[in-house]
Amino acid sequence: MIAVGRMQRGPELDMIGTYLKRLPWKSEIIEIDIKKQFVNAEDRKAREAEKLLQAIPQGAAVIVLDERGAALSSRDFAKKIEHFQLQAFNNLAFIIGGADGLHESVRLRADLKLAFGTLSWPHMLVRVMLAEQIYRVWSILSGHPYHRD
């Protein structure tokens, strides 16, 4: 997971930890923090984009969380992840932008644009939701009983 902003201690961080500890896949959260103040949102998004794109591991399928992305069921999301695995991607990079959204260069780099519905969500809560969905995908693909249809 590559995300703009630093997560503070609290229930969201605890919940992310819970799901990532359950997950047998190696996982990490890379946080991008831009200290410099920018005059406008486009300049800030461009600088965030540079850092986000630099943080993507070699050979990774890039999944961007974007309100204009596909709203998939958990099963369909699992099928997409399985497809990436079959295409021999050796990593998955989930990207969460900052408060102003993502620069177009990041959206263009995406192998999948994913939306958690049409509502706006707090960025720290999106991390929790994503961690849970990654765990759910693993459970679906491995036949674990966590996911129920």
pLDDT tens digits, the chain, 149 residues: what are they?
A: 999 998 889 999 999 999 999 999 999 999 998 877 777 888 889 999 999 999 999 999 999 999 899 999 999 999 999 999 999 899 999 999 988 889 999 999 999 999 998 888 888 899 999 999 999 999 999 998 888 88
What domains are defined for the chain?
2-142 (3.40.1280.10)
- Helices in 59-119 by DSSP H: which ranges? 74-86, 104-109
Q: Cα–Cα distance between 120 and 114 in angstroms, integer?
A: 13
pTM: 0.92
Distance of alpha carbon 145 from the chain centroid: 24
